[in-house]
Structure 1
């Protein structure tokens, strides 16, 4: 069975897009989203992030940061990240505005506060379709190396979910097996569209 997947992180477009990039390469039907009010990318200091509206094309962000300080943004990995993102899709999308149609079977988040936001968002919607959606949180530190590891773990979990005859009956075993193998805890729940 083929599922539709959503990758959701806060606002910086690293973890969800790394997973989106890898899953897309492996032939999965996948989308990615942020949950923040804006897209925030590291700036010259913690108090000076680069802030963009959702929907701003990645190419625009790339050109903007190249103008500001190409060496800094190349060194901290932001330029390569934006280049990767631009190969995946045109612009970042916000979960709350773009994921309401009930088309996802599985939603992955990469930090607990985003998991809570997605669960709350789904809980507050009208459950017209009564279609189940599995939400899994795989805690991933927000750096380029951990995002790559998290993407591989996400792909492995997607393959196991796809291989299960019934994910509803197998999810506990899939999660337990993952946790034993990787010594990482997963949060998961089921909601509805």
Structure 2
């Protein structure tokens, strides 16, 4: 049986802002070894209108994004929750990280939407295998809004707690996922890739 500290977890959404960071926050408070990532080409945050998002490079720190949006329209970005989100993010780590640049290995990679799941699986499938250590890639569809990010983060935490209590995660995975699907009413995608 593994413990929460033994389970190496990655949470991935497209921008490493809302869904992955909410799950990162909750999992780290519960004692998990967790990192979070995005798969997008740039980091996009809502702008003054739907067709005018704020676009940043992955090298831009959460602090820089926060200060930029305060300058642009502090009232708007306070009301829509973006400044609150960036404040949480900057307390967890300096800047968003791109999954495709990560050299570390994980036991479980949780994605927050099917497109991101496909990108993670494709990336792990095309790179050269070195250790052949298995990694479970699991998708939990979470809408990209504040309320859904919180609900999704608790669902991800529930799954990670179940996995950390499993006596044999490899053989119990399908059963654990099925149990959580029935409890949550959500479908999970699951595949095994190798490092």
If the TM-score is normalised by the length of the shorter chain, which range does it land in?
A: over 0.9
* Aligned counterpart, 1:192: 194
State how far apart, in whole Å, the 2-side matches of 1:28 and 1:64 are: 32
**1:71-110, CA deviations, whole angstroms, 9 ceiling, x for partnerless residues?**
110111100000000011000010111x233x21100000
Secondary structure at the aligned position of 1:188 is classed as strand
Secondary structure at the aligned position of 1:69 is classed as helix
Are positions 1:116 and 2:154 aligned together?
no
State how far apart, in whole Å, the 1-side matches of 2:107 and 2:127 are: 16
Contiguous gaps of at least 5 residues in structure 1: none
State how far apart, in whole Å, the 1-side matches of 2:120 and 2:184 are: 25
How many pairs align? 191
State how far apart, in whole Å, the 1-side matches of 2:134 and 2:184 are: 27
Q: How far did residue 12 of structure 1 move?
A: 5.6
* TM-score in terms of structure 1 length: 0.97
Q: How far did residue 25 of structure 1 move?
A: 0.9
User: Which among 100, 103, 122 is matched to residue 100 of structure 1?
Assistant: 103
* Aligned counterpart, 2:71: 67
What is the Cα-based RMSD across aligned positions, in Å?
0.8
Are positions 1:147 and 2:149 aligned together?
yes
Contiguous gaps of at least 5 residues in structure 2: none
* Aligned counterpart, 2:41: 37
**1:120-155, CA deviations, whole angstroms, 9 ceiling, x for partnerless residues?**
000001111000000000000010000000000000
* TM-score in terms of structure 2 length: 0.96
Contact 1:12 1:41 in 2 (8 A): no
